[in-house]
Every structure is written in C-alpha cells, then in structure tokens.
Amino acid sequence: MSFELLGFGDLGSVHIGMTRDQSRALLGRGFEEFLKAADSTVPTDAYDDLGVHVYFDEGYRVIGVEFLKWSDLSWRGQRLSGADVLKVQQYMVTEGETLNFNGSGFDVNGLGLRVYAPDLDIGEEDAVIETVYVSFVKDK
C-alpha cells in the first residue's frame, strides 16, 4: 500500500479525525496491538507487512502514523521512508519547507513530520531515513 502526504494530518485515505475502526477497515486485519512505551495507555496498531504503526489518542482517534523504512511514503512525488536523507532534505528545502535538526534527524513542523535518520548525525554520506512519523496533532 502506498501513502502520499498531502498536507498536515492528511495522508489521503488516512486523515485527521479518523477512528481506530476506520483505520483498521482501511488497512486490514494484518496488525498487532502493542504498547509503545511502559506508560502508554492506548495500544498502537502495528502493520508490519506495510511497515506502518498507527497511533491513537484516548478517544481512539488517529493522532499519528509512523512509517518504517520499507514502507511506501512520499510527499510531492519524493519518496520519504527509506530514502537518501540528504536528497530528501535538499528536496524539502527546495520546496520551501523549514527543517529543524536534532541529534537523530530533523522535523518539518509545517507538515507534521519527524524524520529519524541516526546515521546522519555520525556523518554517513549514504544515510537513509529509518522512520518518518506523521503527526496529526499540532504542537502548541
């Protein structure tokens, strides 16, 4: 299954306001529930075949989707998950996005993206994006 980020909180078929039941109907039965952290109260749905984890709030509405490097996530025709991190950075800047760097990648707040590319920090020239988290919740 391919996903295209259309805008903040909008992956086309998965979007702001979608319920857990709706996301499960769309993505299918091939998931496992798990608690992402020890203090988590709401399970995350892991679709390992798709390379997708779907996160929910206490009302079981989608608040974000994490794409692992073997998933198929793109933005404006540029592949994001598993792509060359330097190529993605250059493309996003060319498209007018502001990148906020951290120790393990960068964020693109305007799109709700958190990009995890740990090899970037150690100077790997061929670093790839390991995961991309697409947030459906605006930072306050």
Quote the pLDDT of residue 138. Answer: 83
Quote the pLDDT of residue 24. Answer: 97
Q: What are phi and psi of 59, to 5 degrees?
A: -90, 10
Read off the pLDDT band of 119 (50, 70, 90).
confident
Summarised one tens digit per residue, pLDDT across range 36-82 is 888 999 999 999 999 999 999 999 999 999 999 999 999 999 999 99
Q: What CA–CA distance (Å, rounded) separates 3 from 20?
A: 18
Written as six digits, the tokens of 82 are 């598993």
Contact between 88 and 74 (Cβ < 8 Å): no
What pTM, to 2 d.p., does this model score?
A: 0.93
Q: What CA–CA distance (Å, rounded) separates 39 from 118?
A: 25
Residue type, 31: F
